[in-house]
Amino acid sequence: MKRKNYTSGSRWEEVVGYSRAVKIGNTIEITGTVAADENGQVVGKDNAYEQTKFILEKIQTVLHEAKASMADVIRTRMFVTDISRWEEFGKAHHAFFNKIKPCTTMVEVRQLIGPDFLIEIEATAILSN
């Protein structure tokens, strides 16, 4: 099967050696994504809803590049630094997936790549055709 890598230009991609997303056949895997803008700056500092929304918009963008949409997402994984804020994270997730309802996981982790990131999200999408 043909493999296509997608990049966002993030500084971490070259340092660590990964892609924003990889599409093989009808499957798209999207790597852990944090609320960092094109300059690597945190978006929505200390705002769980805004960080989650920004991340899901980034995921939506790479899906469109891969000729897919949020409707193709079958699973999301959310890694959060404070599980007590689950409703804030969940509200933003709901805004994107309330009709799609992919499988999802939310787990608390000690920390993420930077101290101001509250959440990191991975996603898996499968194209139907």
Give the total number of structural domains in the chain. Answer: 1
The domain that holds 117 is classified in CATH as 3.30.1330.40
Question: What is the predicted pLDDT for the residue at 57?
Answer: 98
Residue type (1 letter), 13: E
Q: Which residues constitute the domain of residue 86?
A: 3-126
Residue type (1 letter), 30: I
Q: How far, CA to CA in Å, does 46 sit from each of 18, 40, 50, 67, 90?
A: 27, 16, 9, 33, 15
pTM, two decimals, is 0.95
Q: Decide if 51 contacts 118 (C-beta within 8 A).
A: yes
Q: How far, CA to CA in Å, does 55 sit from each of 16, 26, 64, 88?
A: 20, 23, 14, 14
- Report pLDDT digits (tens) over 63-120: 999 999 999 999 999 999 999 999 999 999 999 999 999 999 999 999 999 999 999 9
Question: What is the predicted pLDDT for the residue at 90?
Answer: 98
Reference 124, options 23, 30, 21; nearest CA is: 30
Strand ranges for 34-94 from DSSP E: 73-80
